[in-house]
Structure 1
Amino acid sequence: MAETAYGVTVKLLGLLGSLTCQELSLAWGVRNDLTELESTVSAIKAVLLDAEEKQASDHRLNHWLGELKDVLNDAENVLDEFHCRVLQKEAMKRYGSTSKKVCHFFSSSNNPLAFRFEMANKIKGVRERVDDIADKKDKLNLAEGLEDGNITMHQRDMTHSFVHPSSVIGRDEDKENLIRLLMHQDAGRNVSVIPIVGIGGLGKTTLAKLVYNDEVVVSHFQLRMWVCVSENFNVTRLIKEILKSAVGTIDENLSVDQLQIRLRKLLENEKFLLVLDDIWNEDRNKWIELEDLLLSSCNGSKIIVTTQNSFVATIMGTAPTYNLDGLIQENCFSLFVKLAFKEGDENQYPNLLQIGREIVRKCKGVPLAVKTLAGLLYSKVDEGEWKYVRDNEIWNLEQKEGDILPALRLSYNQLPFHLKRCFAYCSLFPKDHVFTNLQLIQFWMAHGILQSPVNENQELEDVGDLYIKELLSRSFFQDLDVQQICFHTFKMHDLVHDLALSIAKGECSIVTKDSSISTEVCHLFFFDNDQEVTTQLEKLSKVRTIIFETKQPVLI
C-alpha cells in the first residue's frame, strides 16, 4: 500500500484534531459525529501496528486492513472538503466579491445550505462505516498499545562463517581489496574497523565469508570470530556470541562482569579478526560500550562490519568504507546458469539461455536477485515459464523467505514510520527516474506526509531534506549527484523500486497506452503525455494524485 492504514489514521487524527475541523464541527452542527469518529479512529490506531505486522500470515487481517483503509481514505477526503470550505470562507472575508468566483468554482453546490447538508450526510455515512469496521477488529485478537518502533521485526536468518569459494562468482577483486585492508597496519590503533556497505542481497556477507576463510587471513590472525548481529545490538548478548565463536560453549549463567573479564582476557595480546555481520544499530553509545572491551588486543587486530546503512559505517568505521558494487552482467549470467540448470544441461537449451540473459538484466547486478529468479526456473525447460519470469516485474513473482524482496523488506521494516510512508510514495515514479531533492520534497509536502518541524527555526522543506539524507544513508537511494549546495539528484535501484511497488501494491500505477488501471488506484503517473486522460479517469473514483511526465513532473 502506498501508505499503511496506520499512516492514514495518523493523518486523519491530525485533521480531526485541528482547529479548523473544530471550528467547522461547531458551525455546521456535526460535532458529535466528528467526536465519535475521532474516538473510534483512535481505538483502531491502537491495534494497527500489530495488525500490519501480522497481516502477511493472516488473510482475514489483510482483508480487514484493506477495507479499513478504504473508509479512512474516504473520511480524509470529506475532511479535506471541510478545510477547503474554511479557506473559501477566509478568502471571502479578505478579498470580498472576487473570491466568490473561487467559491463558485470549488463548491459542489451553489446553495450553502445544500452543501452543508451534503457534508453532514457524508460525515455521518463515513462515521457509520468506520464504526462497522471497528466492530470487526475485536474478533481479530490484536494487541493494543504498541508504539511504532517497538513492534517485533522479522529478522534475517542467523549467518555462519563458511562459504565454498567455488559457489561465489565475480568477487575475486573485492576479496583481494579487503585482504589488503586487513593486512595494512594502522598506526596508533590496536583495532581497526572496516565497514562493507551495500543494499540487501548484494553479497556483503558472502564477501566477508570469502575473506574470513582465505588461507592468508587464517595464517595472519591468531584468533578469528564470527557473529551475526542483526537488529538486536545487545552488548551482553554480543559478548556471549563472541566468546562462543572463539571457544565454543560458555557458562550462560555468568554475570555481565564475569563475561567482560573473560572477553578481555581472551583478546589480550591476541591479533584477532572479528566479523560483525548485518549491523543495524545507530546508537553510537552502544557501539562504544562494546568497542571498549575489544581494545586490549595486539596491534593489527581487525573488525569487519557488514551493513546496509552508511550511517552505521560512519559511527563504527575507522577505515574508509568499502562500498560494494553490483556484479558485472557476465558474472551475473554465469551465476544464473550455474543455479538455473543442472550441471552440463545448459548447452541443450540455447533458446532458454537467450531468455536467461534478458532475465539477468532485471537483477541489476544483485546476486540474491539472480539466485531468486534462477531458483524459480531450476530444472524447468518450458519456454513459456521462462518468458513469464522475463516479462513480469520481480515484485510480482513468487518470493520465499530468503529471496530478494523479503531480504530487502527487512531493511524497510527497520525504517521509522515516517520514512516508510515517504519511501512507499516513491513507487509512483518510474524506474530509472532521476529524482531532485526539491521536487521530491514538494511531492511529499503536497501529500501531507512530512512531520511538523521540531523547532521554530526549521521549515517543512528542512524536514524533507533530512528524510532524503536518511533514505540515502540506508541505501534506498543511490547515485547522489550534488550539483549545487541546495540542489542534488539521485536515483533508486530497480530492485528497491520493486520493493516500493510491492508495498504500494495496486494503489500506485504508472500509466502507458497499454495499461489497464485498477479501480482501487489512488495515485497515477502518466508516462505518455499524448494519452486521453479523461477517458482513463472517468471510472476512477479514488484517484488523489496525477503526475504527468515532463522535464519536471507536474503534480495535480
Structure 2
Amino acid sequence: MAEALVSIALEQLASFIHQQATEGISLLVGAKQEVEKLQSNFRAIQAVLADAEIRQVKENAVRDWLDKLKDVSYDIDDVLDELNTKFLKLQIKRAEHASKPLKKVCSVVLHYLVGKPLLMRCKIVINIKYLGRKLDIVVEERERFHFRPIAEGSKEVERQITTSAIDLEEVRGRDNDKNSLVDLLLSQSSQQQVLPIISIVGMGGIGKTTLARLAFNDDKVNTHFDKKIWVCVSEPFNELRVAKAILESLTSSPSQLVELETVMQKIGRQIERKKFLLVLDDVWTENYENWENLKRTLKCGSLESRILVTTRKEIVANVIGTTKIISLGVLSEDECWSLFSQLAIFEATNKEFEEIGKKIVKKCKGLPLAVKTLGSLLHFKRKFEEWENVLNSEIWELEVVEERIFPPLLFSYYDLSSILKKCFSYCAIFPKDYVIWKDELIKLWMAQGYLKSKANKDMELVGEEYFENLAMRSLFQDFKRSEYDGSIIGCKMHDIVHDLVQFLSKNECFAIEVESGASPQSDISYERVRHLYARSSSSIPRSILNPKKLHSFVVERAYFYETDLSRYFEQLTCLRTLNLCNCYGFYKIPKGIKYLVHLRYLKLNWNDDIETLPEVLCDLYNLQTLDVTDCGKLRKLPQGIGKLVNLRHLLIGGTRSLRYIPKGVERLSCLKTLNKFVINGDYDDGNKACTSLDSLKNLKLGPSLELELVNVRDSNALKLANFQSTNNLLHLTLSFRIQCKERRGNEENVMIIEALQPPPNLEKLRIEYFEGKSMSFDWMIDGKYKKSG
C-alpha cells in the first residue's frame, strides 16, 4: 500500500511543478528546492518498498516505519491537491471572464496572484517544508533496516482465460460431506424435542462456507424449507445486528428498528410454525449469553427447522448448543492436484512443471483456498524459474495471523503492482460478507487517485481491467451477474482474504458497525484511520473520526442532525469520498459542504427527505461522481452544475420529483454517465432549464438513459438530440409525465415520439405512460428493440 501512496505523491509533486510553470506563478524563495528534495527522497524510498512490504509481516518495527511513511505521503498529497485545486479554480475563473473586457480579466487574475493567494502560497510552502522535515526523518530511519531493492510485482495479467471461468465454483472432494449434510438437514425424528443445530468446524480456508453454500442451494433443501436465511456473523458479535440481518432476510426489506426486543418479536411472527433453515456463517463468539434471546425466539418455528453454523473453533460449536458437529478435513493430495492443475493450466507433457507443481501443492497442506489462490497465480507464470521461486520462497516460513493460509495469499499480494496492491487493500473498508458492486468500487478507486487514463483508455476502463486482474487471481469470489448480459456486476471476498486485507491495512482502512449505546472498539488507533465505513442504527460516535485526516467516509443507515453534518463538513476537509447512503434525520445538505474541496465522490442515494442541493456544491471542482439515486423528493439540481468540469457520473435515476435539468449541463465535457434527463414543457426560461435534447448532442453518454418528458408539446424539443451519433447508448427509457389537466390527442403524442431518432446501437427500448394508441413508428425496425409500455 505504501508503494502506491508514494507513487501518488510523486505524481502530485510532478503536477505541482508543471502547474507552477504553466500558470507562471512563482513560489517563495527555496520552495522549488524543497519540492525537488521531496521528489528525491520519495524516489529513494520507492526503490526499497517492495522489500519493506514483505518484511512488515514479521517485523513490527518495519510496519511502524511504513505507517510513518504512509502518514507523510497522505499529508503531502493533501497539501499538493489543495494547491492544484486552487490552480483549477483560477483556470475556471479565467474561462468565466474570457468574454468580459480585458480590464476585468486582469483584475481577476491579479486577485488570484496577489491578495489571499499570496497568503495561501506562504501557507503551502510552510507545510511543504514541515512535511519535508518529517520525510527526512523517515529516510534516516530507513537506513537501520538495510532494505534491498526488489523488482515490483507484475504490471499486467495476460487475459487468457475468461472471467466466467474464474467464476466457476471449484469444489473437490466434498461430495460425501455435502450428501451427509443435506441428509442431516432433511432428517426427521418423531421424538425430537429441541431445534437441531449443525456446526461445520474447520480451519480457515478449508471450505466451510463453500460446503454450507452447496447444501443451502441444493434443490431438495429448497423445496423442503418454507424460509431460508443466510447471515454472516463474523467479529465482533453484535446481537442486534445479527437479529436485524435475520429479519431483513425474512422480509426482504431494510429495518430501521433499534430495539432488540422489537426485532425479536417481528422475527417470531415471521417464522411462527414455519420450517426454516438459518445459516450463521463465520461465528466466533464464545459467550453463551449472546445466543439466549435468539434461541428463545427461534423456538417459534417448527421443530423441523434447522440451524447451520460455520466456525473455526469447536468451543464455539459447543457454546451455542450444537447437536451435530461436522469436522471438515483437508483435501487429499490427488484432489488438490486436480484443482491446482485445472487452474494453473500448464503443458501437461512438461514433467518439470508437473514435478515442481506437485511440490507446491504439497505445501498447501490440503487447504482448497491456498490451492486455488496459487493455481490462479501460477497460471500467469510461464517460466520454470518463476515456479521455482514460489516453491523456495521464504514466505512459506512466515507464521502470521491465520494458520497456514496467509503465505499462499501473500504470494498473490506481493505479485501485484503497487497500484493494484492499493486497490486491493482499499477493499478493507468494507465489512465481511459485504457485496462489493464493481462500478461503485471503480468510482471509489478513481476518487482516491488510484486510476489514471492511459493509452486512450478512460479511467473507468482501467478500473475494469484492475477488477478483472484481481478476480483472475481468486482474490474476489461469489460473483453477482447481470440478468441482462451475464456480465459481472458485484462480488464478495472470502473471509480469509478479508482477514489478509485487514491485516495489511490495519489502522488505515476500517469498517465499524455501531448500535445504540455501544462503545467503539478500543484496540483501534482511530487517529490513523484514513478510510472509514460506518453503519449505525443511531448517530456516529465522534470518537472514531479523525477530523483532519479522513479520506473516505462511507456511512449506511445512520442518523444525522443537520448541525452534526455542518460540524463534520467543517472538520473533514480532506475527504475524497463521502457516502451518506440511506441516512435519516436531515432534510438538506448544509452549505458547509463547500469546505470539502478535495471531494471526488458524493453519494446521497435513498435519502428521501432531501429536496434541494446547495448551490455551493458547484464549487467542488474536483467532483467526479454525484449520486442522488432514489432521492424521491429532490426537486432540482444546483443551477451552477455546469461548473463541475471534472464530473464524470451524474446519477439521478429514481428522482421522481425532479422538475428539470439546469442549463449548463452541456458544458460537462467529461460526463460519461447521465442516467436521466428531464424536458419540462412548462419551463420556458432558457436561462434556467434545458428545454430540448440539444444539451446532450455533444456528450458521449452511456449505457443507459431515462428520458422523462413532462408536458412536452413541441416535437422540436426532441429533434435536436442527434442521438444517431451516440454509439454508447444501449438502453433507453421514454417516460411521459402529464402534470396538467388538459388531455392531448393521440396524434400529438405520436408526433412527439416520432421525432426521436434512437442511436444505432440501441439494444433495449422501454416506453412508459404513453397515451397514444400507436406503437409502430418509422424508426422502429421489427425485432430490433424490446418494447414495453
TM-score with structure 1 setting the length: 0.54
Q: Is 1:116 aligned to 2:121, yes or no?
A: yes
Q: Deviations over 1:95-123 (max 9, x none)?
A: 2499x9xx9xxx9x982222121111011
Q: Please give the secondary structure, in 2, of the residue aligned with 1:506.
A: coil
Equivalent position of 2:404 in the other structure: 403
For 1:313-328, list aligned pairs within 5 A. Answer: none
Q: Deviations over 1:60-103 (max 9, x none)?
A: 322222222211211111111111111111121122499x9xx9
Q: Is 1:45 aligned to 2:52, yes or no?
A: no
Equivalent position of 2:27 in the other structure: 28
Q: Is 1:541 aligned to 2:548, yes or no?
A: yes
Q: Deviations over 1:527-550 (max 9, x none)?
A: 1264156x3466543211111226
Equivalent position of 1:522 in the other structure: 530
Residue 53 of structure 1, CA deviation: 1.7
> Alignment RMSD, CA only?
4.7
Equivalent position of 1:391 in the other structure: none
1:431 maps to a residue whose letter is K
Q: Structure 1 residues 546 and 150, CA, compared in 2 at 3 Å: closer, same or farther?
A: closer
Q: Is 1:307 aligned to 2:377, yes or no?
A: no
For 1:90-489, list aligned pairs within 5 A. Answer: 90-96=91-97, 111-144=116-149, 146-149=150-153, 172=176, 201-202=206-207, 206-209=330-333, 239-240=351-352, 278=361, 307-308=372-373, 399=400, 402-453=403-454, 455-456=455-456, 458-483=457-482, 484-485=484-485, 488-489=489-490
Partners of 1:227 and 1:531 in 2: how far apart? 47
Q: Is 1:13 aligned to 2:10, yes or no?
A: yes
Q: Please give the secondary structure, in 1, of the residue aligned with 2:490.
A: strand
> Over alpha carbons, which structure has the higher Rg?
2
8 Å CA contact retained: 1:429, 1:510: yes
8 Å CA contact retained: 1:524, 1:547: yes
Equivalent position of 1:327 in the other structure: none
Partners of 2:371 and 2:86 in 1: how far apart? 53
Partners of 1:492 and 1:401 in 2: how far apart? 16
Q: Structure 1 residues 21 and 471, CA, compared in 2 at 3 Å: closer, same or farther?
A: farther
Q: Structure 1 residues 143 and 112, CA, compared in 2 at 3 Å: closer, same or farther?
A: same
For 1:76-95, list aligned pairs within 5 A. Answer: 76-95=77-96
Q: Please give the secondary structure, in 1, of the residue aligned with 2:475.
A: coil
User: Which of 1 and 2 has higher RCO (CA within 8 Å, sep 6+)?
Assistant: 1
Q: Structure 1 residues 492 and 241, CA, compared in 2 at 3 Å: closer, same or farther?
A: closer
Q: How many residues align?
A: 357
Q: Please give the secondary structure, in 1, of the residue aligned with 2:48.
A: helix
Q: Deviations over 1:22-68 (max 9, x none)?
A: 54795223212111111111111112112222223333322222222
Partners of 1:33 and 1:232 in 2: how far apart? 49
8 Å CA contact retained: 2:75, 2:131: yes
8 Å CA contact retained: 1:171, 1:207: no
Q: Structure 1 residues 539 and 414, CA, compared in 2 at 3 Å: closer, same or farther?
A: closer
Identity %: 25
Partners of 1:521 and 1:315 in 2: how far apart? 35
Residue 135 of structure 1, CA deviation: 2.1
The structure that is helix-richer by fraction is: 1
Partners of 1:521 and 1:50 in 2: how far apart? 24
Residue 413 of structure 1, CA deviation: 2.9
8 Å CA contact retained: 1:450, 1:464: yes
Gap regions ≥5 residues in structure 2? 156-171, 180-203, 211-328, 363-369, 382-398, 559-578, 582-600, 603-789
Equivalent position of 1:384 in the other structure: none
Q: Structure 1 residues 52 and 73, CA, compared in 2 at 3 Å: closer, same or farther?
A: same
Q: Structure 1 residues 70 and 233, CA, compared in 2 at 3 Å: closer, same or farther?
A: farther
Partners of 2:531 and 2:51 in 1: how far apart? 26
Partners of 1:138 and 1:234 in 2: how far apart? 42
2:331 maps to a residue whose letter is L
8 Å CA contact retained: 1:528, 1:549: yes
Q: Deviations over 1:293-316 (max 9, x none)?
A: xxxxxxxxxxxx953378679899
8 Å CA contact retained: 2:377, 2:412: no
2:549 maps to a residue whose letter is K
Q: Deviations over 1:308-333 (max 9, x none)?
A: 378679899xxxxxxxxxxxxxxxxx
8 Å CA contact retained: 1:277, 1:307: no
Q: Structure 1 residues 501 and 311, CA, compared in 2 at 3 Å: closer, same or farther?
A: closer
Partners of 2:48 and 2:38 in 1: how far apart? 16
Q: Please give the secondary structure, in 2, of the residue aligned with 1:430.
A: coil
8 Å CA contact retained: 1:200, 1:408: no
Q: Structure 1 residues 117 and 138, CA, compared in 2 at 3 Å: closer, same or farther?
A: same
2:75 maps to a residue whose letter is D
Q: Structure 1 residues 22 and 208, CA, compared in 2 at 3 Å: closer, same or farther?
A: farther
8 Å CA contact retained: 1:436, 1:487: no
Residue 422 of structure 1, CA deviation: 0.8
Q: Structure 1 residues 64 and 25, CA, compared in 2 at 3 Å: closer, same or farther?
A: farther
Partners of 2:85 and 2:121 in 1: how far apart? 13
Q: Please give the secondary structure, in 2, of the residue aligned with 1:138.
A: helix
Residue 402 of structure 1, CA deviation: 4.5
8 Å CA contact retained: 2:529, 2:546: no
Equivalent position of 1:357 in the other structure: none
1:9 maps to a residue whose letter is V
- Single out whichever of 474-483 and 203-212 deviates more from structure 2: 203-212
Q: Please give the secondary structure, in 2, of the residue aligned with 1:527.
A: strand
Q: Structure 1 residues 242 and 113, CA, compared in 2 at 3 Å: closer, same or farther?
A: closer
Residue 234 of structure 1, CA deviation: 11
Partners of 1:400 and 1:529 in 2: how far apart? 32
8 Å CA contact retained: 1:399, 1:405: yes
Q: Please give the secondary structure, in 2, of the residue aligned with 1:524.
A: strand
Partners of 1:313 and 1:553 in 2: how far apart? 41
Partners of 1:116 and 1:20 in 2: how far apart? 13
Partners of 2:580 and 2:359 in 1: how far apart? 43
Q: Deviations over 1:133-179 (max 9, x none)?
A: 212222321223x320289xxxxxxxxxxxxxxxx99553689xxxx
Residue 442 of structure 1, CA deviation: 0.4
Equivalent position of 1:500 in the other structure: 501
2:418 maps to a residue whose letter is F
Q: Deviations over 1:328-374 (max 9, x none)?
A: xxxxxxxxxxxxxxxxxxxxxxxxxxxxxxxxxxxxxxxxxxxxxxx
Q: Structure 1 residues 466 and 503, CA, compared in 2 at 3 Å: closer, same or farther?
A: same
1:172 maps to a residue whose letter is N
Equivalent position of 1:255 in the other structure: none
Partners of 1:500 and 1:463 in 2: how far apart? 22
Q: Deviations over 1:189-241 (max 9, x none)?
A: xxxxxxxxxx95449995352559xxxxxxxxxxxx99999x99999xx7458
Partners of 2:426 and 2:377 in 1: how far apart? 25
Q: Please give the secondary structure, in 1, of the residue aligned with 2:527.
A: coil
Partners of 1:241 and 1:497 in 2: how far apart? 31
Partners of 1:418 and 1:494 in 2: how far apart? 23
Partners of 2:547 and 2:377 in 1: how far apart? 44
Q: Structure 1 residues 23 and 530, CA, compared in 2 at 3 Å: closer, same or farther?
A: farther
